[in-house]
Amino acid sequence: MAAPLDLTDPAVVANPYPAFARARAEAPVQWHEELQLWLAFTHAESNAVLRDRRLGRIWRDREPQSRFESFNLIHRNAILEMEPPEHTRLRRLVSTAFARGHVERLRPWVEQLAGRLVDGLIERSGGSAPVDLLPGMAEQLPVDVIAELLGVPQADRPLLRPWSNAIVKMYEYDRTREREEAAERAADEFVTYLRGLAAERRKQPGDDLVSHLVQVRDAEGDKLTEDELVTTCILLLNAGHEATVNVTGNGTLALLHNPDQLQRLRADRSLLPTAIEELMRYDSPLQLFERTATEDVEIGGITVAAGQKIAALLGAANHDPAVFAEPETLDVGRTDNPHISFGAGVHFCIGAPLARVELQASFGALLDRTSSLVLGGEPVRRPEFVIRGLAQLPVVLTA
């Protein structure tokens, strides 16, 4: 029997949504022999995968452990890879530090940064020359924001994205040994760097998130271990900025392919918050999220046996016609939009408020500071399926 989805097919990587629709019409949940896991194609079943407490994030160290020492360390202690009660304790501590107004404190700074980056793109483009939106803005802004949030010194910020990029390549299913070694090396350097930064903040605390994570204690007097603190910072950067980069790239391309919607947004700026949610739904930055059954669980008419994996296909769920009217149509005014791009349940993205601030600032600056924004050449898509994004997006901007 053919696999319901070939994640290595260039046509699927380029545009998975037709393949999702074909698979969804056959059955809501299907077995993938090659990946040895179940795939959920509908919104209801994907939502159930994310919310059912019998389906957990059960971290198993990559083998051999001697080859993946740092990579395993940053996942073994990650909030994303834990279940209650450990998850509850860690999330409570991190949320306490986050609740100190960090996101809203940064909003004006983020808006200024987005404006400067767009101005730089306009200057280089001059209304005629193509410039790449990705390094010029999409990649720069979220890394700078998270670096500012964590209190990473300006001189060290260029280190962060290459580390993150190398680590997230480990989540793809067709990795090479070379990529695995690069991911471990990046994890090791990142861990070493953050241990040093945490040690500095212990001696000289500031008004940044690392200082607050070092100091935070809950009502029971519990605090983060050093490994948990380091891992939380890495997760914020990896998960936080990868999603924002890819929503900015995928979303801008979607608007350029739908100029009527871009024009609608220019004409009515109050649509910006709903437009951001629609861009996240329309071309999701994360396509697949795995869970493991801790006991037999029935989902979509099949039984996921204890120990088996099942993955929510977020992009497929976000295009389910049972939930979204005309799901293949981009509608920046879509108000009935229960997309699951930020996840759901206990693992709902802790950085979602920050991502929304960044995206509203980026798209707001693009709309406010340009009179014209058009494609300046053929976009290049990254060759990975799980983390969906662009490698190049040439645009021409006019002030």
- The domain that contains 286 carries what CATH number? 1.10.630.10
Residue 58 lies in a domain: yes
Give the count of alpha carbons within 13 A of 332, CB side only: 24
Which band of pLDDT confidence, cut at 50, 70 and 90, is reported for residue 169? Answer: confident
**Spatial distance between the Cα atoms of 284 and 317, rounded to a whole number of angstroms:** 10
Residue 263 lies in a domain: yes
Q: Which of 70-84, 143-157, 282-296, 309-323 has the lowest mean pLDDT?
A: 70-84
The pTM (predicted TM-score) of the whole model is 0.89
**Spatial distance between the Cα atoms of 45 and 287, rounded to a whole number of angstroms:** 15
Q: Looking at residue 99, what is its pLDDT?
A: 65
Say whether 32 sits in a helix, a strand or coil.
strand
Q: Looking at residue 129, what is its pLDDT?
A: 96
Residue 1 lies in a domain: no
Phi, psi (5° rounding) for residue 39?
-120, 130
Domain of 165 in residue numbering reads as 10-398
What's the angle, vertex CA 174, arms to CA 26 and CA 227, rounded to 5?
A: 110
- What is the mean predicted confidence (pLDDT) over 113-117? 97
For residue 136, the 8-state DSSP code is I
- What is the mean predicted confidence (pLDDT) over 250-261? 98
Number of domains in the chain: 1
- What is the mean predicted confidence (pLDDT) over 162-190? 89
> How confident is the model over 330-360, as pLDDT tens digits?
999 999 999 999 999 888 888 888 899 999 9
> How confident is the model over 82-114, as pLDDT tens digits?
888 888 888 887 777 666 677 778 889 999 999
Burial of residue 46 (number of CB atoms within 10 Å: 0-12, 13-18, 19+): buried
Residue 4 lies in a domain: no
Nearest to 37 by CA among 343, 307, 295: 307
Residue 2 lies in a domain: no
Residue 231 lies in a domain: yes
1, pLDDT greater than 60: no
